[in-house]
Chain A
Amino acid sequence: MTATTATTTRVAARASEVWKVYGSGEARVTALRGVSLELLRGQYTAVMGPSGSGKSTLMHCMAGLDAVTRGDVYIGQTRLTGLSDAGLTRLRRDQVGFVFQQFNLLPTLSAKENILLPLAIAGRKPDKPWYDTVIDTVGLRDRLSHRPSELSGGQQQRVACARALVSRPEVVFADEPTGNLDSRSGADILGFLRRSVTDFGQTVVMVTHDANAASYADRVIFLGDGRIVHEMAGPTPDAILDTLKKIDLSVGGE
């Protein structure tokens, strides 16, 4: 029992034996084949893999955006499998933060309103010191009243990061957050995510196929053909690239 409790407190999110199958019959596609993964609290995890390896599917399943076919997913203490739409929605609102590749913000709201949107939907007041910390970390104080259309792509992603962090979620899921950015803006975003882990103990999962982006993480999970094929701690861009080559060969060679 003590061991379990210790584990659960250390683990922010967990997938166990997760299968995801789309369609049926001829059109049947198996995206995940028994993936088990624990995301430790305060850890920055990158998920990599070639296109079609299931990395986005894994993220969607773990974030409560998609239902798994078999297996269990937990965020904190909450078991996602079997939750109703309303339950999943509340979970996403209160315990998950998202940063998507693009179209992160409502064009009609100002940056500040966008950042506070999940809290507003939940009817919660922001924690003022934490809000200030987040705003200062992403460096957006002078842009708060601007609409997304008045911000650059990099600034928009920083707003999205602030939004993901401001509700102090259990896990922040970032899906190719730098995919649409030039390298400098991308580096800014990756830096913020890194700092949110290091300085504030936030748990972050990032799906990417950019080896340089993945090297900001504490560990990298490599997916191939719906399975975890490799794991690496303390990654460097070169090591990641080597591993990717090997996976490509092995997957391609099958």
Chain B
Amino acid sequence: MLRATLKSLLSRKLRLVLSGMAVVLGAMFVSGAFVLTDTIGRSFDSLFSNAYANVDVQVTGHEVTEGQQATVPASVADQITAVPGVAGQPTPQVLVDGARVIGHDGKAVTTFGAPRYGRDWAGEKDQVQLREGHGPQADNEIAVNAGLAKTANLHVGDQVPVLTVFEPKKTYKLVGIFGRPGGRDSLGGETEVDFTTPVAQRVMLGQTGVYSDINVKAAAGVPDDALRARIATALGSSYQVKTGKQLADENKSSIQSGLSFFNDILLGFAAVALFVGTFLILNTFSIIVAQRTRELAMMRSLGSSRRQVIGSVMIEALLIGVVASLVGLGLGIGVGAVLAALFGGFVGGLQLAGIAVPLSAVIGALAVGIGITMLAALMPAIRASRIPPVAALQEVATADRPLTRVTVSGAVTTAIGVGLLGWGLFGRAGSGTLWLVLAGVLVSFIGVALLTPLVARPVVALIGSLFAWSVPGKLGRINSGRNPRRTAITAAALMVGLALITGFNVVVSSVSASLHHLGDTQVKADLIISGQQSAELPPTFDPAVLEKSKQLPGVREVAGGYLDIGKVNGKAEGIAAVSDLPALADMFPLTAKEGTLAALGDNQAVLDEDEAKTLGLHAGSTVTIQLSRGQPHTVKVVGIYAKNDVFNGWMVATNLIPDFRVPQPAQAFIRLQNQSDLAAVKASVARLLADSPEVNVTDRSGFIDQQVSQLNSVLTFIQILLALAILIAILGIVNTLALSVLERTRELGLLRAIGLRRAQAMRMVTVEAVVISIFGALLGLIVGSGLGVAVVRALRDQGFTNVALPWNQMVVYLVLAGVVGVVAAILPSVRAARINVLEAIAYE
């Protein structure tokens, strides 16, 4: 039996290669994701180990708010020196994210997530090696790391503008460029601007005489842990004391959690690809079983048991699964390595660890590849075992089975899927929401796929009639409707990827439409100053711009916003300080539910009614607010504003701004007087912002477009990842067509004999492919629109009231589907054209 299986396996190479390909791609994605995240993870591990290699113990201030530490006064260094076991003088330093160099193009130099440190120059050490010039000695001098010098094309002697946490743009003279041990330009893509110590303290910490941390060396024979404990005891609870190893581990684990999220996303897309692949494999095995009906029936009549028949099909699946998974694993390792290298180059200067193959990649690829193949082959195998021995003696294969059963089960499955989806989106499922939605989508897809054969015939006939003006087109149309199950499953594979893309598109375009609607109907601000956040700190601008823009002719009112994350009664909350609350309330009609929204006095605040209800606050209540710096403030709630779709949360008085992490505004809203010239005012504001390159001024609709464009880039990313699923669907179309051509060799031969030209034969096959792929695309567009609309409806409470279908995109997808059909038809149609007429019609 095994021999027979192997023989039949080899005789259908092409088909197996095609269906194996789906498994290969899926397994490749899985193992590639693991290899990529493993390599990057280990690269960061070694990065942090290096970064803290010379730190035995580090002292920082206590944690004021999440991730934000208090400063350390210089005097603490003396206290540490007194602790037994400390070697030499502790080194206090200023090392704070937020020093942004403005490049020659007038824009702030960005990194891909790596910090942009402002530091105090502490002389050349083993970790800091001057390459050119000298360290900063005067207040107007800086040194930068070689990575930054290269990216921004800076040279010693240049005048370099820098934005810092506490100061807007200021120009310094570049006097030195330094590198890192081993000839590296940076440790891991970070940029560094080194000032003299007092300047660094002033511009990065807002106060001289304090440091961000103090590094301590342990004396010989004193373990780091023991020293850490001694220092902690000596300093008391207002300081955090950690060993270099603890710090490296903390950094590693925060990177790891980021990477594992990334990994989950990649695996999610691998899952979509494999889900689509399942359709392809299922289809292939169904066809193989159908074609082997007589052979299998003969085996049954020769005495094979049902179990042996199932076994023979499943062994075939196992072999394909193993081979394809191994190939996929190998390719995945390569893909992971290439992507890791790209990522390393992207980040700039991340020293890549060697590529290794984690066990998770091997297990993941093999388990997924083999599992999916076997699972997909199970149904066809069982069907194979039901072939009666008498089928061996019958001339014709069994007629088309009725579609009743598959339709009923499809309807039930779809109903269950839609139910799950509805429960997830509209029910109060809490933490289970995501899983309910995912399960709902998955089950709905299966349900729709089962319903597809029923609609295949009429819909395909309809689509096909577009092509029926020529004989080859008509024949192609007829052929695509001949086997509704096969057409349906092939189209359903294409449906999945397109439905997901369309769904995302519907959500994005609806969000965009809702925001524009909101902007037009509720917002009276005409101009908005804001920037795109690309790093941990929000982009900010010179506070003087607020006052100056208010003085511009034609400007009615200006409200600037400063942002911080603080703690209200011990709970983390976003806190905004507003320069002119009445102006803001006027521009975004905010109405007082309690108290007033008049100008805030010192230590006063307003908040939205939902938040007030949650916290049990009323006008007149007081709360304790801890900002990123300094001591907690006792703040009085003077107003509670009514719920609205634009604003929510805390707004505090401007006297609290100095304790914000970045005491500079991140946003401003400007309303013009009636009949003033929008373009002229906009240009004037833009001129005021010349020294604040991180932000720009846009009109209302431009601002919304800017916000939506971030969603659009997410959408692009999703489309790229889902392209794999679509690629697999294309393989499915190729597979189905190749089989059609094979099965219809005689018909093609006959057609050629009575005068069908080669080009006409090719056109016939192409029409069949295009009809199938457009059918799949239509299904995808419909199902995807349904999904998207459901999600948008579920978001109604968040203010997304408009449903907008992205018609242009949908038309583009439909056209692309047509192109996909043409491409998929290339090989099968060439095959059809090359059919040898004599062999095809020979019957002896």
A contacts, CB < 8 Å to B = 60, 65-66, 85-86, 89-90, 92-94, 98, 100-109, 117-118, 120-123, 163
Contacts and interface: CB of A to CB of B under 8 A. Distances in A.
A105 B750 CA distance: 8
Contact of B841 (A90, A103, A120): A103
A120 B747 CA distance: 16
Contacts of A163: 754
Interface string B734-766: 000000000000110011111111101000000
A120 B764 CA distance: 14
Contacts of B758: 85-86, 89
B146 to A, nearest CB: 67
A109 B478 contact: yes
B457 interface: no
B755 A92 contact: yes
B299 interface: no
Interface in B784-838: 837-838
Contacts of A107: 747
A106 B747 contact: yes
A122 B755 contact: yes
Contacts of A122: 755
Nearest to B757: A89
B748 to A, nearest CB: 10
B751 A92 contact: no
Contacts of A120: 471
A121 B754 contact: yes
10 contacts: A89-B755, A89-B758, A98-B754, A100-B750, A102-B843, A106-B747, A107-B747, A118-B754, A121-B754, A121-B756
A163 B753 CA distance: 13
Interface string B235-262: 0000000000000000000000000000
Nearest to B840: A103
Contact of B838 (A65, A93, A123): A65
Interface residues on B, range: 20 to 34
B479 interface: yes
Contact of A103 (B475, B756, B843): B843
A60 B755 contact: no
Give chain B's interface secondary structure class: helix
B755 A118 contact: yes
B384 to A, nearest CB: 25
A29 B747 CA distance: 28
A83 to B, nearest CB: 13
Contact of B755 (A66, A90, A103, A106): A90
A98 to B, nearest CB: 6
Given A102-B843, A106-B475, A109-B478, A121 B747 contact: no
A94 B747 contact: no
Nearest to B833: A85
B517 interface: no
B42 interface: no
Contacts of B837: 65
Given A60-B838, A103-B841, A121 B471 contact: yes
A65 B750 CA distance: 11
Which 3 residue pairs spanning A and B have beta carbons closest together?
Answer: A93-B755, A108-B478, A120-B471
Contacts of B643: none
Contact of B751 (A85, A90, A106): A106
A163 to B, nearest CB: 7
Contacts of A103: 746, 750, 841, 843
Nearest to A173: B753
Nearest to A57: B838
A107 B754 CA distance: 15
B155 interface: no
Contacts of B752: 89
A93 B843 contact: no
Given A108-B475, A109-B478, A121-B755, 18 more contacts: A86-B758, A89-B752, A89-B755, A89-B757, A89-B758, A90-B755, A90-B757, A92-B753, A92-B754, A93-B754, A94-B755, A98-B753, A98-B754, A103-B843, A107-B747, A108-B482, A118-B755, A121-B754
Contacts of B471: 117, 120-121, 123
Given A106-B747, A120-B471, A66 B838 contact: yes
Q: Which of A94, A107, A121, A122 has the most CB of B within 10 A?
A: A121
A53 B5 CA distance: 40
A122 B471 CA distance: 9
A53 to B, nearest CB: 13
A160 B682 CA distance: 80
A109 to B, nearest CB: 7
A118 B751 CA distance: 9
Nearest to B396: A149
A101 B755 contact: no
Contacts of A86: 757-758
Contacts of B479: 108
A86 B760 CA distance: 11
B471 to A, nearest CB: 5
A47 to B, nearest CB: 16
Nearest to B759: A86
Contacts of A89: 752, 755-758
Contacts of A98: 753-754
A162 to B, nearest CB: 13
Contacts of B757: 86, 89-90, 121
Contacts of B475: 106, 108
B758 to A, nearest CB: 6
A117 B474 CA distance: 11
Contacts of B747: 106-107
A102 B475 CA distance: 20
B834 to A, nearest CB: 10
Q: Which of B753, B755, B756, B838 has the most CB of A within 10 A?
A: B755
Contacts of B746: 103
A120 B746 CA distance: 20
A108 B744 CA distance: 11
A86 B746 CA distance: 20
A113 to B, nearest CB: 9
Nearest to A86: B757
Nearest to B472: A121
Contacts of A104: 750
B744 to A, nearest CB: 9
Contacts of A90: 755, 757
B755 A65 contact: no
A103 to B, nearest CB: 5
A153 to B, nearest CB: 12
Contacts of B482: 108
Contacts of A118: 754-755
A117 B760 CA distance: 13
A174 to B, nearest CB: 13
Contacts of A85: 758
A161 to B, nearest CB: 13
Contacts of B478: 108-109
A190 to B, nearest CB: 20
A136 to B, nearest CB: 22
Nearest to B474: A120
Contacts of B756: 89, 93, 121
A106 B838 contact: no
Nearest to A122: B755
B678 to A, nearest CB: 62
B552 to A, nearest CB: 73
Nearest to A149: B396
Nearest to B482: A108
Contacts of B755: 89-90, 92-94, 118, 121-122
B137 to A, nearest CB: 86
Contacts of B751: 106, 117, 121
A71 B315 CA distance: 55
A105 B478 CA distance: 14
Nearest to B754: A118
A163 B843 CA distance: 20
Contacts of A108: 475, 478-479, 482
A192 B15 CA distance: 45
A191 B837 CA distance: 29
